[in-house]
């Protein structure tokens, strides 16, 4: 098994502040020598284009850029690009090719939102190898470029994605595949009130190897050009004269047979979640279907056409919480449905890790929020699992307890006669207290910075301990809303 | 008006096309404004350097992020990761001494040079041969 090397990107306490930096750090020819998969977990919104290229990869050694836990689009969110909802990359740059451009093979992206706004010639997603885009939302407004494209290599795969073409009257297809490839369980649309872009899907050199299943393609002048795919079934479209493997559906918000039943199909307020009762529900084939929909919900069998599995009314649900901003070790009570009278084999997890349960009933669960090592302000997903069925994630955002200021360890420098500094984990929770103000003449760009004293939570010892290291602190002073850095002994 | 720039000090050696499409010394990974929260590994990577230019705006240095693209491939193809580089050799001796320090004892160096002097350090690389180049 390859070693998984995880890094956090963005969001405050992190290893790398931007995906471009993670990419540069992991652009490593030694991937094939060390048998590693490098995984970047993305937090927040980033506006620098990301190009993944140069790493020597193979089927078991590659790079993955994915939304960090709690950072993907949820079933409760509108399904359109919204950088406030989690991990997102956007660009207005017209000087490059794509906001997210992957050239090396075997890489994958998962759970990301990617947008190019405006009508420039940049495109949101471009892959020039047989890479997989899974559970992503791509949105673009170019009138000449596809929203998602593979232009120079065969075999690109797009699974459980929402691809929104906002280029009014565009000459380009929403999705372009170079040769072959897989389109499974995607929502490929142009807002209904825009002039139709030319095509939904365009395969540049169809060779009979493509797989096109469980997709809904609506809002285009033509379905496009797909040749004769190896497999083409259970697709729906509103385009005239659909090819074999596609059936007709009316493109609207009506939740009944024969209609797509999207939440909203207008450009300004589009939301491509599927309503219950839509023709898309349960209309797919389970053969080859991906495991999860855009929001991370497991597909039923048969799955829907498109990328939205609507939760059953008997599925467990987290309705509300006594607080959505808990502090470490705080007890939190959540209101739930369909949890069962006793816990039994059911679980309540926070980003996949089981929580300490204080009490459990069919409608209420109390647990201990034990995530002292997680950065404040970065949300976590709470999931209730009953009988193997997961609830939709419920977001909790860690916050410091009242009366303390928290700061972020951004770097540790232990050279120049200072003690080695390896014992401190950068993700550690730092408890800090402002003591006085003084002019930081050693480092800061100018002005006064607070003098902190602080302590670090020792995960191994389970208590607060001194550091005795020289470190660099970075924090945002809420009162002044400006960033502060300081270096010193603490 | 502050721009913080993450530079490549050195990059892992590659061969052929992979080398051309990867980073080279003096290339820029990221350009941000002065309040950017760098990550822990951003500030300690011995192969990178971060400089705060106090008299430049991020837009001034955005050209350093541009790739070189072959336009004769459908949709364009990546010719070179960065079309421009920063000529470190023309910086003052103190800067170059800091540049050589892999310990990154001073993780971010503040440079107060005039904007025009900084922009004079930007070098447009010689385009790769054989194909049309667009920026």
ipTM for the complex? 0.94
CA A84 to chain centre: 12
pLDDT confidence bin for A332, thresholds 50/70/90? very high
The domain tally of chain A equals: 3
Q: Maximum CA pair distance of chain A?
A: 76
* pLDDT-above-90 percentage for chain A: 53
The interface residues of chain A toward chain B in range 411-450, judged by CB-CB distance below 8 A, are 411-413, 415-416, 426, 445
Nearest chain A CA: its distance from B90 CA (Å): 24
B71: buried, middle or exposed (CB in 10 Å: 19+, 13-18, 0-12)? middle
More confident residue, B14 or A463: B14
Interface of A with B in 210-239 (CB under 8 A): none
Indicate if the pLDDT at residue B110 is higher than 80: yes
CB contacts of A51 in chain B (<8 Å) are 67, 78, 81
Considering the domain boundaries, does residue A337 fall inside one?
yes
Higher pLDDT among residues A464 and A328, named by residue: A328
Nearest to B12 among A9, A14, A29 (CB): A29
- Give the model's confidence band at A60: pLDDT under 50 very low, under 70 low, under 90 confident, else very high: confident
Considering A396, A424, A447, which residue would you say is the last residue of a domain? A396
Q: A55: closest CA among B128, B92, B19?
A: B19
Nearest to B44 by CA among A15, A347, A129: A15
Question: Tokens 């103000």 — which residue?
Answer: A437
- On whether both A378 and A415 belong to a single domain, the answer is no
Nearest to B39 among A14, A176, A416 (CB): A14
CB of A99 within 8 Å of any CB in chain B? Answer: no
Q: Which of A157, A146, A214, A147 is nearest to A180 (CA)?
A: A157
List the beta bridge partners of residue B86.
B122
Which residue, A379, A350, A351, is CA-closest to A365? Answer: A350
On the CB side of B57, how many CA atoms lie within 13 Å of its CA? 2
User: Measured between CB atoms, does B44 come within 8 Å of chain A?
Assistant: yes
Residue numbers of B between 111 and 130 with CB closer than 8 Å to A: none
- Among A246, A274, A302, the domain boundary falls at A274
The mean per-residue pLDDT over the stretch A459-465 comes to: 49
Nearest to A413 among B67, B105, B110 (CB): B105
pLDDT class of A103 with cuts at 50, 70, 90: confident
**Is the domain of A350 the same as that of A424?**
no
Q: Using the predicted structure, report yes or no on whether residue A428 has a pLDDT greater than 50.
A: no
What are the chain A neighbours of B135 within 8 Å (beta carbons)?
95
CA of A150 vs chain B CAs: smallest distance (Å): 9
Give the separation between CA A425 and CA A415, rounded to whole angstroms: 17
Residue B30: what pLDDT? 95
Nearest CA in chain A to B102: A415
pLDDT band at A90 (very low <50, low <70, confident <90, very high): very high
Mean pLDDT of all residues belonging to chain B: 86
Query: Is the pLDDT score of A107 beyond 80?
Result: yes
In chain A, which among 269-298 make CB contacts under 8 A with chain B? Answer: none
Looking at residues A90-115, what average pLDDT do you find?
88
Q: Is residue A62 part of a domain?
A: no
What pLDDT score does A372 carry?
A: 54
- Domain end, chosen from A366, A396, A426, is at A396
Residue A225 lies in a domain: yes
Question: Are A410 and B38 an interchain contact pair (Cβ–Cβ within 8 Å)?
Answer: yes
What is the 3-class SS of chain A, one letter each residue?
CCEEEEEEECCCCCCECCHHHHHHHHCCCCHHHHCEEEEEEECCEECCCEEECCCCCECCECEEEEECCCCCCCCCCCCCCCHHHCCEEEECCCCCCEEEEECCCCCEEECCEEEECCCCCCEEEEECCCCEEECCEEEECCCCCCCEECCCCECCEEECCEEEECCCCCCCEEEEECECCEEECCEEECCCCCCCCCEEEEECCCCCCCEEECCEEECCCEEEECCCCCEEECEEECCCCCCCCEEECECCCCCCCCECCEEECCCCCCEEEECCCCCCCCCCCCCCCCCECCCCCECCCCCCCCCCCCCCCCCCEEEEECCCCCCCCEEEEEEEECCCCCCCCCEEEECCEECEEEEECCCEEEEEECCCCCCCCCCEEEEEEECCEECCCEEECCCCCCCCEECEEEEECCCCCCCCCCCCCCCCCEEEEEEEEEECCCCCCCCEEEEEEEEEEECCCCEEECCCCEEEEEEEECCCCEEEEEEEEC
Best of B9, B22, B31, B41 to substitute, by most chain A Cβ atoms within 10 angstroms, is: B41
User: Got the DSSP string for B79-117?
Assistant: EES-SEEE-GGGS-HHHHHHHT-TT-SSSEEEE---HHH
What value does the CA radius of gyration of chain B take, rounded to a whole number of Å?
Answer: 15
Nearest to B125 by CA among B86, B96, B89: B86
Q: What is the structure's pLDDT at A454?
A: 45
Element (H, E) at B51: strand B48-53
Instruction: Say which of B37, B69, B76 has its CB closest to residue A474.
Output: B37
Residue A296 inside a domain? The answer is: no
Q: What is residue A376's predicted lDDT score, i.e. its pLDDT?
A: 64
The confidence score (pLDDT) of residue A181 equals 94
The per-residue pLDDT for range A207-255, each reduced to its tens digit, is 999 999 999 999 999 999 999 999 999 999 999 999 999 999 999 999 9
- Closest to B78 (Cβ–Cβ): which among A14, A53, A472? A53
Instruction: Say what the alpha-carbon torsion angle B39, B41, B43, B48 is, to the nearest 10 degrees.
Output: -120
A408 contacts in chain B (CB < 8 Å): 37
Q: Are residues A191 and A326 in the same domain?
A: no
Nearest CA in chain B to A10: B39
SS (H, E, C) B15-36: CHHHHHCCCCCCCEEEEEECCC
In chain A, residues 182-211 whose CB comes closer than 8 Å to chain B:
204
What is the three-class DSSP state of B64? helix
Q: What's the rounded Cα separation, in Å, for the pair A280 and A311?
A: 14
- CA dist., res. B129 & res. A96, Å (int): 19
Residue A94 maps to a domain: yes
| A159 and A129 together in one domain | yes
Which of A28, A44, A97, A175 would you mutate first to test chain B, the one with the most B CBs within 10 A? A97
Is residue A116 within 8 angstroms of chain B, CB to CB? Answer: no
User: B41 and A15 in contact by Cβ < 8 A?
Assistant: yes
Instruction: Report pLDDT digits (tens) over A7-18.
Output: 999 876 678 999
Its domain, for residue A369, covers 317-396
What does the pLDDT read at residue B129? 60
Compare CB distances from A426 to B22, B37, B40 and report the shortest one's residue. B40
Is residue B103 less than 8 Å (CB to CB) from chain A?
yes
Residue A31's pLDDT band, with cuts at 50, 70 and 90, is low
Q: Mean pLDDT lowest for which of A192-206, A456-470, B80-94?
A: A456-470
Q: Do B81 and A51 touch (CB under 8 A)?
A: yes
Mean pLDDT of B99-127: 91
A51 interfacial to chain B (CB closer than 8 Å)? yes
CB A20 within 8 A of CB B29: yes
User: Phi-psi bin for A483: left (phi > 0), alpha (psi -120 to 50), beta?
Assistant: beta
Give the residue from A246, A209, A250 showing the smallest Cα distance to A224: A246
B116 alpha-carbon distance from chain centroid: 17
Q: Is the pLDDT of residue A407 over 60?
A: no
Segment A330-358 shows an average pLDDT of 90
Q: If you search the block for the tokens 């009508």, which residue do you land on?
A: A119
Return mean pLDDT, chain A: 81
Flag the least confident range among A99-108, A247-256, A307-316.
A307-316
The predicted pLDDT at position A483 comes to 36
Look at A472 and B34 and tell me if their CB atoms are within 8 Å. no
User: Residue A353: what pLDDT?
Assistant: 85
Q: Residue written as tokens 């799955």? A: A303
User: What kind and span of H or E run contains B118?
Assistant: helix B115-119
- Smallest CA–CA separation between A262 and chain B, in Å? 32
State yes or no: pLDDT of A28 exceeds 90: no
* CB neighbours of residue A464 within 10 Å: 12
Q: Model confidence over A472-489: pLDDT tens digits? A: 444 443 333 333 333 333
A308 inside domain = no
Identify whether the C-beta of residue A471 lies closer than 8 Å to the C-beta of residue A489.
no
Does a structural domain hold residue A33? no
Contact A483 B35 (CB under 8 A): yes
A390: pLDDT strictly greater than 90: no
């Amino acid at each position: 098994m390859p070693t998984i090397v995880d890094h956090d990107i963005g969001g405050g306490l992190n290893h790398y502040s931007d995906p471009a930096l993670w990419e540069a750090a992991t652009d490593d020819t030694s991937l094939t020598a060390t048998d590693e998969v490098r995984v970047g977990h993305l937090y927040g919104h980033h506006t620098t284009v990301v190009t993944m290229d140069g790493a020597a990869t193979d089927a078991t050694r590659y790079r993955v850029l994915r939304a960090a836990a709690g950072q993907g689009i949820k079933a409760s969110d509108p399904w359109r690009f919204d950088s406030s909802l989690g991990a997102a990359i956007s660009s207005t740059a017209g000087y490059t090719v794509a906001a997210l451009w992957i050239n090396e093979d075997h890489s994958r992206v998962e759970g990301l939102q990617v947008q190019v706004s405006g009508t420039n010639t940049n495109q949101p997603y471009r892959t020039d190898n047989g890479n997989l885009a899974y559970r992503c939302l791509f949105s673009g407004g170019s009138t000449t470029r596809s929203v998602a494209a593979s232009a120079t290599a065969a075999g690109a795969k797009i699974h459980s994605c929402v691809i929104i073409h906002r280029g009014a009257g565009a000459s380009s297809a929403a999705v372009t595949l170079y040769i072959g490839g897989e389109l499974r369980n995607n929502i490929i649309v142009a807002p209904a009130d825009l002039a139709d872009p030319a095509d939904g899907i365009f395969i540049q050199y169809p060779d009979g190897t493509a797989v096109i299943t469980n997709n809904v393609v609506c809002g285009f002048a033509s379905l496009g050009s797909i040749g004769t795919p190896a497999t083409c079934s259970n697709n729906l479209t509103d385009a005239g004269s659909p090819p074999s493997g596609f059936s007709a559906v009316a493109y609207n918000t009506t939740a009944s047979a024969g209609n797509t039943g999207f939440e909203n199909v207008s450009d300004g307020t589009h939301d491509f979640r599927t309503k219950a009762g839509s023709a898309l529900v349960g209309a797919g084939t389970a053969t080859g279907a991906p495991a999860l929909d855009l929001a991370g919900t497991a597909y039923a069998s048969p799955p829907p056409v498109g990328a939205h599995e609507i939760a059953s009314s008997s599925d467990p649900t987290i309705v509300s919480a006594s607080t959505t901003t808990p502090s470490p070790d705080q007890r939190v009570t959540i209101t739930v449905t369909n949890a069962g009278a006793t816990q039994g084999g059911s679980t309540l997890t926070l980003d996949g890790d089981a929580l300490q349960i204080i009490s459990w009933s069919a409608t209420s669960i109390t647990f201990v929020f034990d995530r002292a090592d997680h950065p404040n302000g970065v949300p976590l997903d709470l999931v209730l699992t009953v009988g193997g069925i997961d609830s939709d994630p419920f977001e909790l955002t860690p916050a410091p307890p009242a009366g303390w200021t928290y700061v972020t360890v951004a770097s540790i420098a232990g050279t120049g006669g200072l003690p080695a500094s390896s014992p401190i984990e950068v993700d550690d929770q730092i408890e800090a207290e402002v003591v006085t103000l003084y002019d930081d003449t050693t480092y800061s760009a100018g002005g006064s910075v607070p003098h902190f004293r602080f302590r670090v939570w020792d995960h191994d010892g389970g208590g607060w301990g001194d550091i005795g290291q020289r470190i660099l602190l970075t924090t945002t002073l809420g009162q002044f809303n400006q960033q502060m850095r300081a270096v010193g002994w603490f | 008006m502050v721009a913080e720039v993450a530079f490549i000090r050195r990059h892992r050696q590659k061969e052929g096309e992979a080398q051309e499409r990867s980073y080279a010394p003096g290339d820029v990974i990221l350009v941000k404004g002065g309040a950017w929260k760098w990550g822990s590994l951003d500030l300690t990577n011995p192969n990178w350097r971060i400089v705060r230019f106090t008299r430049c705006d991020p837009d001034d240095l955005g050209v350093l992020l541009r790739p070189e693209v072959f336009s004769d491939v459908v949709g364009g193809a990546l010719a070179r990761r960065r079309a421009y580089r920063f000529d470190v050799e023309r910086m003052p001796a103190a800067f170059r001494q800091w540049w050589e320090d892999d310990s990154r004892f001073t993780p971010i160096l503040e440079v107060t040079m005039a904007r025009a002097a900084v922009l004079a350090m930007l070098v447009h690389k010689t385009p790769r041969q054989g194909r049309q180049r667009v920026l």
